[in-house]
Structure 1
């Protein structure tokens, strides 16, 4: 009897570890950011009117498509992650490559099905974004900066996807998309600084490998500060409420702080800290988009 209980506990523990591994594999915080970006675009396009079924479909379409690309990324980068991130689910053995590939297919299929439920424009954007991310994961990442541009375009797309859900792409949506693109492009270059050792082994031609960490940090900071500059435009055009200013001021201060620190210390350990900080500032900016445009 004791052996049976021990066996059941062991099985439950393995399943729990597997579930946690899958959650880590898909980078839930990234998926949530993309889902929220869709809601922002949708609210702007619909002028604050919300159809809950459509909004939920859009949110989870972005969530699952982002999750699929994260799983594919780790499947493709297992050799690099053995050097750069050995504790990630696949190199640590918690999730097998086959399980990651299965998760990619199931999540991508779910995302495309949800997009098809909304309208044809949303479906087309979802398919194009998925194809772009597949390209990035299978081939584009090895190109370095062009790959950075591809993934940053996909980070900007959810706002446009949200607008397409209501059939309207406004100037404010374009500004928010541009801010997401430039801030994430800076983050991608910084990720290259953090991952330089593994990228060298995989012959990935990132800017830090081609130009060095110091020059790459300056380029990354330029993109980040461009995003800060763009954040002023909605205020000047009076397209947002004063609530936007509260969140965006905190986000901009964070972006400036991170840009200063990566230029001051352009090394791998600092880059790992800064790339995570930038996700926090992006979330604050997103909350500013959400509250400032909905009021």
Structure 2
């Protein structure tokens, strides 16, 4: 059991992305008022809870991953299920403990997200679209959590825009992931949109969400975000989101689109972050 296997298990790049989302949420909400303690704590809470969520998801997905992703740490035998469970528990406890230093609302939200992630991994993921909605919600809450850590002035008005964008981009990405995992999900009776409606219909729903997001993406500029937002929107976010939309409506196309949408998500966070500079 190598350190590399555990890093792969927690999906460190996704964890960093979630933590960065929290930092962005704080700075956007506070209009770039630096409060190192609040920023670091909120990022750590989000990072630890996200890591725990990824690990517990792999614990319950081991049979599916044996078909879809046999190279993952658990199905490949590099990390045992028992060790993964312990790691998930440690991550959740650390995140929940640190949330206490931010305030009661931060603690409650952290606890609710942990419960949601556990319920998703154990049961809701197999329910299809409802599972997609929960993942989109918890991902968007990573950004919202940074704003909640600031919790002053017009923080809610400023954070609601990037939270909204994150929700719909993640929802589309989750549908695409369901298409990518179609074969394993079908064998294990997982009711995703792809296994219930079919690959092509699921693709059409995902593309519709992405097209709507593309069409409304300039709005934040007219609502107070600066020119940097538009530059990153045109230079990175839109090209990779469009690349996802024009993919062939196949399982192979979904694998490519998922990668592009990760870049869209990261570039979106950076666009909102730098676009909110006063």
TM above 0.5: yes
> Are 2:269 and 1:286 equivalent residues in the alignment?
yes
Q: What per-residue deviation string (whole Å, max 9, x for no partner) do you get for residues 223-280 of structure 1?
A: 122222332221112x21111111122202210121111xxx2222221121121101
In structure 1, the residue matched to 2:256 is: 273
In structure 2, the residue matched to 1:258 is: 244
Which of 34, 37, 47 is the matching residue for 2:21?
37
| 1:171 positional shift | 2.5
Which of 222, 225, 228 is the matching residue for 1:243?
228
Who wins on radius of gyration, i.e. which is larger?
1
Under a length normalisation based on structure 1, what TM-score does the superposition of the two structures give? 0.90
Q: What per-residue deviation string (whole Å, max 9, x for no partner) do you get for residues 185-230 of structure 1?
A: 1111111111011101111111111111111111001112222233
In structure 2, the residue matched to 1:12 is: none
The 5-angstrom pairing of residues 111-260 of structure 1 reads: 111-168=95-152, 169-237=155-223, 239-249=224-234, 250-260=236-246
| 1:134 positional shift | 1.1
When the two chains are superposed, the root-mean-square deviation of aligned CA atoms in Å is 1.2
The 5-angstrom pairing of residues 67-78 of structure 1 reads: 67-78=51-62
> Per the alignment, in what secondary structure is the counterpart of residue 158 of structure 2?
helix
Under a length normalisation based on structure 2, what TM-score does the superposition of the two structures give? 0.96
| 1:289 positional shift | 1.0
Where does the alignment leave 5 or more consecutive residues of structure 2 unmatched?
none
> Are 2:87 and 1:87 equivalent residues in the alignment?
no
In structure 2, the residue matched to 1:54 is: 38
Q: Matched residue pairs, number? A: 275
